Structure 1
């Protein structure tokens, strides 16, 4: 004959509840202790388990792009270019130039497709050159990273960009790091479409660029 089981005034645990084995107890918590708070950045999406931190930062948008790590044989500051396939260049609007027509040094923000900043670009010219030569002016362009280090340098001498003078077309010299020429961008003679050749240090054409039909600046 089975002994009478003492009835409990509490309902049995549900199927989802865990019971401690006999003789074992959950670790005691100090009186008044609460579980640690979970800090969530406003506007940032939650990171799924196992999701890389770099991918989470790229999904947030805005700010600066995370520098890719572990890229061998890559010049300092150009690591960004190994993980993106498109760059968007935005020119900064200068109020003085917009309202008065006085030509100021151009400034650009280079972003990826997520809207994150990759580089700054700053024109280095004098006031007389900008306002007398217009779009055909010679210039030096400095491309800076997040740490204000110059990672690229563009130099364009004074040339003619008219199709009537094919012997003096535009040419742009590219250096990375500054002082180390890695190639040139040379304009090809064309009547209706702007055409350029990208050449290495040996003068070999590695890429060609063809613009839209009948462009005017």
Structure 2
């Protein structure tokens, strides 16, 4: 999952005015040098914003993984950073850190959805129009209302506000609520991390149990 940008990581296209008196070879080398300087600056910005430098792919005049020095005198260099996976990981970690820690069950209840489908922990995140973090425990709504002394400001709303400020140039991140279907509501604890697969329960449930409106963080890329 990637966010593309030319030259840097903030969706900014840069047109370089080269000296027309230079030979084509010299213009290519000058453009390549400029692209490498801008790549270094983009990596600096990514380190500052994300706390790390995400991997990137290079496209030179449309050719993947070509050497920057082979760019045409009037060509285009694109650096495509793999940032969404890191954004999701950071939001997941922030949710865990903001969670009440009485038993740890709440922190282990988070589901990660791509267009409504649960994404298994460690799996490649599929393309989607909307990504969602949501808790599968029924009492998540009470925690979000500030009824836990260990999370007086809630969890999802507080993390959504922080993530929205931090990643505003990459995605729209909002606090919301989503409806979880039967079988996605958790009545058990897992020890396998913060984002995990939903358990499918087939026992009979009362009508009120079949649909639950849970606090969530919604993420839409630009």
Q: Which band: TM-score by shorter chain?
A: under 0.3
Greater RCO between the two (CA within 8 Å, min separation 6)? 2
- With normalisation by structure 1, the TM-score equals 0.27
Q: Which has the larger radius of gyration?
A: 1
- With normalisation by structure 2, the TM-score equals 0.27
